Amino acid sequence: MVKNAYKFLIQHQLRTLRDILVSKRLYIQKLKPLEVAYHFNDFVSPFLTNSDFDAKPMVMLLGQYSTGKTTFIKASYPGK
């Protein structure tokens, strides 16, 4: 049973890595040339770098006092 769980986890990690690599390749081959041609970085945002694709995603929780932000974090990441 544990062996199957590890196998599933490894497969999921490999799919995630593949998706990141495909996204990075598509950006470099298809989108970046358009951004360069139209000077996108001059008026919107700088070009994406490898670290933009490789970094862990971040989420910012916003809300009024006592709406469950901390409860959500504690339920999503127990022990942290």
Instruction: Transcribe the chain into DSSP letters.
Output: -HHHHHHHHHHHHHHHHHHHHHHHHHIIIIIHHHHHHTTHHHHT-PPP-HHHHHSPP-------TTSSHHHHHHHHSTT-
Which residue range forms the structural domain that includes residue 45? 2-76
Query: Is the model's pLDDT at 1 over the cut of 80?
Result: no
The string of pLDDT tens digits covering residues 18-69 is 999 999 999 999 999 999 999 998 988 899 998 888 888 888 889 899 898 8
pLDDT tens digit sequence for 51-64: 888 888 888 889 89
Q: Give the count of domains, the chain.
A: 1
Residue 39: what pLDDT? 93
pLDDT at 72 (0 to 100): 86
